[in-house]
Amino acid sequence: MDALHMTDELVAFFTKELSEMQLQTKDETVFKAPTVYDGYLPQKKNGRRGEEDTEQDDYPFVIVRFLYEKDDLKDKNVMKFRLLIGTYSKDDRQGWRDTLHVMNRMKFALKEVGCVGPGELTGEIELALFEEQMKPMWRGVMEVDIATPAVKLDRSEFGDDFNY
């Protein structure tokens, strides 16, 4: 399993697990589940060119971002992912709770299944809220390690004389 496929597996998993959540958007009459993206948020429109600035339209969201991979070349392959969570709330005192609620839902879902696709949860799950918040937009971060089967190359077609 490569990092691209594992990223896609995590996006599909979190999209399903968070689909029933209803969180506030900048339009206070609209509530929706977090949209799960791979890598980065979509590019914003340029306010200087007269296009509407839609930064707050992305909320709530989850970004699944691949950080790095450790492959011991024999049996183990571990990938680290950072999950960025963003919610929207005009409540200056309690707005952070939505972000923590999403992170808890994600953590419990991961722990319940133990694996996503061919990847197995390993190590620790780390959660943190950003110390400085851009109210009314609230953000948090999670990091998870996923162990996947190591890729084994079949070199039998090269015969016994194959050396690097």
Each residue's pLDDT tens digit, 78-121: 999 999 999 999 999 999 999 999 999 999 999 999 999 999 99
Quote the pLDDT of residue 53.
Answer: 58
Question: Is residue 83 within 8 Å of residue 131, measured between CB atoms?
Answer: no
Q: What angle do CA 33, 35, 38 make, to 5 degrees?
A: 155
Number of domains observed in the structure of the chain? 1
Question: Is residue 9 within 8 Å of residue 117, measured between CB atoms?
Answer: yes
Closest-CA residue to 105 (of 29, 24, 15) = 15
Residue 53 in any domain: the answer is no
Residue 164: band (very low, low, confident or very high) from pLDDT cuts 50, 70, 90:
low
Residue that wins the pLDDT comparison between 156 and 140? 140
Task: Provide the domain limits for residue 73.
Answer: 3-40+58-151
CB atoms within 10 A of CB 131: 5
In this model, does residue 162 exceed pLDDT 60?
A: no
The amino acid at 124: E
Residue 123 in any domain: the answer is yes
CATH number of the domain residue 115 falls in: 3.30.2000.10
Residue 51 in any domain: the answer is no
Residue 160 in any domain: the answer is no
Question: Is residue 77 within 8 Å of residue 145, measured between CB atoms?
Answer: no
Quote the pLDDT of residue 75.
Answer: 76
pLDDT digit string, tens, across residues 151-161:
666 666 666 65
CB atoms within 10 A of CB 23: 21
Helices (H) and strands (E) in the chain, counts: 2, 8
